[in-house]
Amino acid sequence: MTNTVTVDRYGVMGYPVSHSRSPVIHKLFALQTNQNMQYELLRVTPEKLEEAVRQFQRTGGKGLNITVPHKRSVCRLVDQLSERASTAGAVNTLAFQDGEIFGDNTDGIGLLRDLVVNLGANITDANILILGAGGATSGIVGPLLEMRPRSLCIANRTLKRAEDLAERFESLGKVSAYRFNVIPVTEPYHLIINATSAGLEGETPPYPEAAVSDKTYCYDLSYGLKPTPFSIWAREHGAAHSVMGWGMLVEQAAESFHIWRGVRPDTKPVLKQMTVNA
Ligand code: ATR
């Protein structure tokens, strides 16, 4: 008699995707919680996305993370969308169950857990400035507004995109939209989040210097082996804290892992390991 050992399959689909740390993080989670699973890097072009997702499902795959540039377009393949994914208009986690595809978005909760639980930042009553108005911003505005900040300002190079997001979220709280050069600064912001992809190109947009004080938490959704341009800028302008998005990366992964496996891993040692290796 032969015993077939089946391993539950997961992965991350993106294009490009080779830089993704998700396989390492999920392997560490699996080891820590004794889960029999594997997690693959899946390089999939936009034209091949639907075919690749359906094939992964057909061949018994259990779940996927979805990353750039597919987070929006994958929504149309989903049978059931969580409320937070629907509000964000983007999906980063798919779970395959009983022939159906469930889509969720763990980015916002990942950021909140890092800010509030790991870093002790106060969001309620804070003045928040988000730089950028792309996919990353649309994933975090809803969860941030649920924490009842005093104000939330979205600033972007292209004003129209910031205005569109502000309009989409205005029913959840006080949101305004500006170009970088006219960001209102009546008092320094408590929290500035960089959600532009400018740093990936090594660029520093005209970030608003007056918005930073020695009370400001600066958080870059990007992360890297070296400090990002925004995190350097924040330190140089006297921010109280300047943090890269490693914590959000690990926390959003933990939330996906919980959806798939029903087990919540301890993120602290994994975050430590990731940043020691960085
Ligand atoms: P993501 O999913 O990473 O958010 P995206 O949806 O393409 O990617 O959004 C990228 C964001 O970074 C946008 O806000 C973009 O500004 P525009 O809407 O004006 O394009 C911003 N961005 C990218 N490169 C930038 C640069 N060099 N200077 C300023 N903003 C930049």
pLDDT in tens, 216-231: 999 999 998 889 999 9
Token pair 């925004």 is found at: 230
Per the model's pLDDT, the better-predicted residue between 72 and 208 turns out to be 72
- Identify whether 273 is part of a domain: no
Kind of pairing, strands 63-66 and 8-14?
parallel
60: pLDDT strictly greater than 80 = yes
Q: Are residues 59 and 93 in the same domain?
A: yes
Task: Provide the domain count of the chain.
Answer: 2
Average pLDDT over residues 188-193: 94
Number of helices and strands (H, E) in the chain? Answer: 9, 12
Distance from the alpha carbon of residue 4 to the mean position of ligand 1, in angstroms:
48
3: pLDDT strictly greater than 60 = no
Region of 142 on the Ramachandran plot (φ > 0 left; ψ -120 to 50 alpha; else beta): alpha
- Identify whether 20 is part of a domain: yes
Q: What residues contact 114, with CB distance under 8 A and at least 6 apart?
A: 245, 247, 248, 250, 251
Q: Are residues 34 and 55 in the same domain?
A: yes
What was the pLDDT predicted at 25? Answer: 98
4: pLDDT strictly greater than 70 = no
Q: Are residues 30 and 115 in the same domain?
A: no
What was the pLDDT predicted at 6? Answer: 86
Q: Return the bridge partners of 53, or none.
A: none
Contact 188, 212 (CB under 8 A): yes
- Identify whether 152 is part of a domain: yes
Contact 11, 41 (CB under 8 A): yes
Q: Are residues 99 and 127 in the same domain?
A: no
Question: Is 158 close to ligand 1, i.e. is its CB under 6 Å away?
Answer: yes
- Helices within the chain (DSSP H only): 22-33, 49-58, 83-88, 107-112, 135-146, 159-169, 229-236, 246-261, 267-277
Q: Are residues 18 and 89 in the same domain?
A: yes
Ligand 1 probe mutation, 156, 204, 220, most atoms within 8 A of CB = 156
Question: From CA 30, how far away is CA 34, in angstroms rounded?
Answer: 6
Kind of pairing, strands 241-244 and 217-220?
parallel
Distance from the alpha carbon of residue 111 to the mean position of ligand 1, in angstroms:
19
Question: From CA 11, how far away is CA 228, in angstroms rounded?
Answer: 27
Contact 252, 92 (CB under 8 A): yes
Residue 272 structure tokens: 């430590």
pTM of the model: 0.94
Q: Return the bridge partners of 154, or none.
A: 130, 177
Q: Are residues 135 and 178 in the same domain?
A: yes
Q: Which residues are catalytic?
A: 71
Residue 77 structure tokens: 């393949």
Per the model's pLDDT, the better-predicted residue between 200 and 129 turns out to be 129
- Identify whether 274 is part of a domain: no
Token pair 């995707």 is found at: 17
- Identify whether 28 is part of a domain: yes
Q: Are residues 30 and 152 in the same domain?
A: no
Question: From CA 7, how far away is CA 10, in angstroms rounded?
Answer: 10
Residue 148 structure tokens: 């009842």
Distance from the alpha carbon of residue 68 to the mean position of ligand 1, in angstroms:
13
- For the chain, what is the radius of gyration of the CA atoms? 19
Q: Are residues 38 and 118 in the same domain?
A: no
CATH number for the domain spanning 117: value is 3.40.50.720
- Identify whether 276 is part of a domain: no
Nearest CA residue ID for atom 26, ligand 1: 198
Token pair 């999906």 is found at: 91
Average pLDDT over residues 145-152: 96
Report the Cα 76 to chain-centroid distance in Å: 20
246: pLDDT strictly greater than 90 = yes
- Domain extent, residue 52, equals 8-106+253-265
Average pLDDT over residues 138-162: 96
Report the Cα 164 to chain-centroid distance in Å: 20
Strongest mean pLDDT among 3-7, 129-133, 209-213:
129-133
Q: How confident is the model at residue 100 (pLDDT cuts 50, 70, 90)?
A: very high
CATH number for the domain spanning 32: value is 3.40.50.10860
Q: Are residues 117 and 229 in the same domain?
A: yes
Instruction: Give the tens place of pLDDT for each residue, 61-81.
Output: 999 999 999 999 999 999 999
Token pair 């301890």 is found at: 266
